[in-house]
Structure 1
């Protein structure tokens, strides 16, 4: 409770393992059940850079709750900061601003960063009740749209490609003005078996896409892995770093 503010990220097996470590003796194997996440330290907070997560934010990782922007953006920064020279993560509000206000609405968002010096640009996309992800491979000039529902959203990656062209012109990076290619789910990714909002765990998937892309890992997780991955993400947010 002191470390995480609740029992949400803890599995009963971890409690038994810790008890055995402390008391140097065996404890009976637990029943396969989840610990209750209802008991919480209401004043608990996690602070990282400009992010402040409260228990209300962290509790969105419990059960099948919907993740909020605060969790999405802090986790994205953890992913970016694991390889800051190679990756830039855009705030979850970026695409909505671009879609509604055009390039002029977001041109100042990168005033302190040259995105064309990065290898990967990660852009979470929040459309109504569904999260997806756009990944830009800068050296290969590709814009790839990852969506667990495999919906056909042609506008989103095209908006991003136009943004990249406008950004290249404004920054004088003429080699990046042309040649961008758009792909939809270019890699094999785990699909979501049912549409949102009934499949709320699918909202975690863009975060896992980010982590796998940055670490060079395959998308080997499925819907059945979401409870475990939610607990892991909770711990990563509290420790302010990615964990194995």
Structure 2
């Protein structure tokens, strides 16, 4: 996730501005509410970003991705197994509202925001590729390209991700 943020900074103006939160963000938000994570963005103006990927670990066995797109006024939940997660979506809406009040000292108008489980997305055909699917949802969206991958590409994406992490930089 940090490589997505770095890439957007290196290619500012070319790609959407991204601030990816880490894997500990969502569990802490769900457990402690805004007060548990408010300091995590003290050096970041979240509302100056376009896309905020939020990794979600469900039941310690399955990875999903929530993506906040501020210019499009959307919060989508991407689950490669097709399961909705309304508590995560609700928590992210409340988080954005609290973040706006705390950091900008004004309420966030969520009128017109679309908050939903993403439809018509690729599905995994096994029980081991959820993490790769989640990362690829974030990868494609932060590059501002349509989600066109499938289960068949997961072995390639696994190798590509390992090489990118080892090299400290995303390809493309």
Q: TM-score, normalised by structure 1?
A: 0.64
Cross-structure match for 1:119: 50
- Counterpart CA distance in 2 for 1:82 and 1:193 is 30
**From 167, 171, 181, the counterpart of 2:103:** 171
**Cα gap change, 1:178/1:222 in structure 2, threshold over 3 Å: closer, same or farther?**
closer
Cross-structure match for 1:14: none
Aligned to 2:19, the other structure's residue is in SS state strand
Cross-structure match for 1:89: 20
Cross-structure match for 2:155: 227
- Counterpart CA distance in 1 for 2:27 and 2:131 is 17
Cross-structure match for 1:181: 114
Q: Residue deviations 1:55-78, cap 9 Å, x none?
A: xxxxxxxxxxxxxxxxxxxxx111
- Counterpart CA distance in 2 for 1:137 and 1:102 is 21
**From 64, 70, 74, the counterpart of 1:138:** 70
**Cα gap change, 1:140/1:216 in structure 2, threshold over 3 Å: closer, same or farther?**
closer
- Counterpart CA distance in 1 for 2:121 and 2:106 is 33
Aligned to 2:129, the other structure's residue is in SS state helix
Max Rg structure: 1
Q: After the TM superposition, which parts of structure 1 deviate over 2 Å for at least 4 consecutive aligned residues?
A: 172-181
Correspondence 1:41-56 to 2 at 5 A: none
Number of aligned residue pairs:
164
Q: TM-score, normalised by structure 2?
A: 0.89
What runs of 5+ residues in structure 1 fail to find an aligned partner?
1-75
**From 98, 104, 107, the counterpart of 2:29:** 98
**Cα gap change, 1:118/1:163 in structure 2, threshold over 3 Å: closer, same or farther?**
same
Say what the alpha-carbon RMSD is for the aligned residues: 1.5
What runs of 5+ residues in structure 2 fail to find an aligned partner?
none
Moved more, 134-143 or 154-163: 134-143
Deviation at 1:177, TM superposition (A): 4.1
Deviation at 1:163, TM superposition (A): 0.5
Maintained 8 Å contact 2:124/2:133: no
Cross-structure match for 2:164: 236
